[in-house]
């Protein structure tokens, strides 16, 4: 299946002759939604079992419990792929250990003008300026409430963002509104203040603006749902430490490192083929290989600063088992993929997990939890 995807399917999908990446993304999601929510049970069950055989790995060494949630393996689907929770019951069949839906905002919004999603194939990357396009928190709440039951041991995270029309000074109430509607439907929640595609959003990473958001959410969070914050790779190290300190002060459950980058240095792509404009002039965040090293640096920094006491979800530039191992040994307990999954195909999770199994064997470790932060113990 790996060779078929990379040699046949990917060249067709990436050729640019059929449709833009966002159209293909929507078609994929609608198909998976049909399978998850509308297909006759016999067809659904048969296809899901077939997919599990192709893509899933059952290895007790990968099991972890974090925040009272059981994770069958550390590889999750990152936020942004299934913004509106269209296919939450299908993701386990692709081998994922968890999935994060959203980013969702208090108000439904169309996002930024199209086209807004581009592949940078020479860089194994993507450029997006989606702008939190989603159907809103109330619609997501209804869908998650009515969805077919997912496997009991498959955690779903919910990524919360600020509505574009909401002024920055009212951001805390905006996040709170979404959380109030969704708090009983997610296994963990993420405060996303690091997307570059909502005007002013990244300024919310400053301590004086971030503190009211944490305060409002934790005051509402009587059931102590795990609350994490997702930060940008472009933050200076001192600013990362400041956010970590604030997260610990407000008893957040963890950090997600990192979001997309606004940096353009080191790219092979100089002109965006779809627009004909220099890449330096194109707005949006870049994901994939260009963010890999910095996201790992941020993971390492957080782990060192907290002495490993604050769980980290690592995301950014994961394509192979080696990429995943670097982030885990740097300090990430869990990982998320998006761009790498698009480039490598649906068999990617299985290949990465099999590779991680080999890494555990080579290191003489009995579980993936034993590998978390390993680089700090062997430096």
Strand (E) positions, 30-187? 64-66, 69-71, 75-77, 98-104, 117-120, 125-128, 156-160
Largest CA distance in the chain: 55
User: For residue 110, what are the CA distances in angstroms to 26, 86, 114, 130, 165?
Assistant: 14, 17, 10, 9, 12
Whether 195 is a known active-site residue: answer yes
Return the residue matching tokens 């899901």. 48
Return the residue matching tokens 């592949």. 119
Pairing of strands 125-128, 117-120: antiparallel
With CA atoms as reference, report the closest residue to 64 among 56, 73, 55, 52: 73
Q: At 172, list the tokens.
A: 């805390």
Q: Which residues contact 263 (CB under 8 A, 6 or more apart)?
A: 233, 234, 286, 290
Q: At 74, list the tokens.
A: 């550390």
Q: What share of the chain is helix, strand, coil (3-state, %, to 5)?
A: 45, 15, 40
Q: Are 98 and 154 in contact (CB under 8 A)?
A: yes
Q: Are 192 and 103 in contact (CB under 8 A)?
A: yes
Which helix H or strand E contains 288, and what residues bound it? strand 285-288
Question: Alpha helix (H) ranges present in the chain?
Answer: 2-4, 10-13, 21-33, 41-55, 137-146, 171-182, 207-220, 237-249, 292-306, 321-330, 339-344, 348-363, 374-378
Q: Among the options 72, 178, 195, 295, which is catalytic?
A: 195
With CA atoms as reference, report the closest residue to 79 among 258, 248, 234, 252: 258
- Cross-strand partners of 75: 335
Report the distance separating Cα 194 and Cα 235, nearest Å.
Answer: 9
Report the distance separating Cα 296 and Cα 23, nearest Å.
Answer: 31
Instruction: Enumerate the active-site residues.
Output: 195
């Amino acid at each position: 299946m790996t060779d078929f995807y990379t040699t046949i399917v990917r060249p067709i999908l990436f050729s640019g002759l059929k449709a833009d990446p966002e159209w293909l993304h929507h078609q994929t999601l609608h198909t998976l939604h049909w399978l998850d929510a509308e297909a006759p049970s016999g067809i659904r069950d048969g296809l899901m079992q077939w997919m599990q055989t192709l893509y899933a790995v059952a290895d007790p060494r990968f099991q972890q419990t974090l925040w009272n949630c059981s994770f069958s393996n550390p590889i999750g689907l990152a936020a942004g792929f299934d913004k509106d929770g269209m296919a939450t019951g299908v993701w386990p069949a692709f081998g994922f250990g968890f999935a994060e839906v959203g980013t969702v905002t208090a108000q439904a919004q169309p996002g930024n003008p199209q086209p807004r999603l581009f592949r940078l194939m020479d860089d194994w990357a993507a450029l997006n300026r989606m702008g939190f396009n989603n159907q809103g928190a109330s619609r997501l709440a209804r869908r998650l409430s009515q969805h077919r039951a997912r496997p009991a041991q498959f955690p779903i995270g919910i990524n919360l963002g600020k509505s574009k029309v909401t002024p920055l000074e009212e951001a805390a109430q905006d996040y709170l509104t979404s959380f109030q509607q969704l708090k009983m439907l997610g296994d963990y929640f993420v405060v996303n203040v690091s997307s570059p595609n909502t005007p002013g959003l990244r300024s919310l990473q400053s301590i004086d603006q971030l503190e009211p958001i944490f305060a409002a959410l934790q005051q509402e969070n009587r059931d102590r749902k795990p609350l994490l914050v997702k930060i940008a790779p472009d933050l200076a190290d001192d600013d990362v430490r400041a956010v970590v300190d604030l997260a610990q002060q407000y008893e957040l459950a963890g950090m997600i490192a990192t979001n997309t980058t606004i940096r353009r240095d080191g790219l092979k792509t100089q002109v965006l083929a779809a627009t004909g404009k220099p890449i330096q002039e194109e707005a949006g965040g870049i994901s994939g290989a260009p963010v890999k090293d910095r996201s790992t640096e941020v993971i390492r920094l957080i782990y060192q600063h907290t002495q490993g006491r604050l769980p980290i979800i690592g995301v950014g530039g994961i394509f192979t088992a080696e990429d995943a191992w670097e982030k885990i040994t740097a300090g990430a307990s869990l990982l998320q993929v998006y761009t790498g999954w698009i480039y490598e195909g649906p068999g990617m999770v299985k290949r990465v997990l099999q590779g991680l199994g080999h890494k555990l064997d080579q290191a003489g470790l009995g579980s993936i939890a034993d590998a978390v932060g390993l680089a700090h113990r062997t430096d």
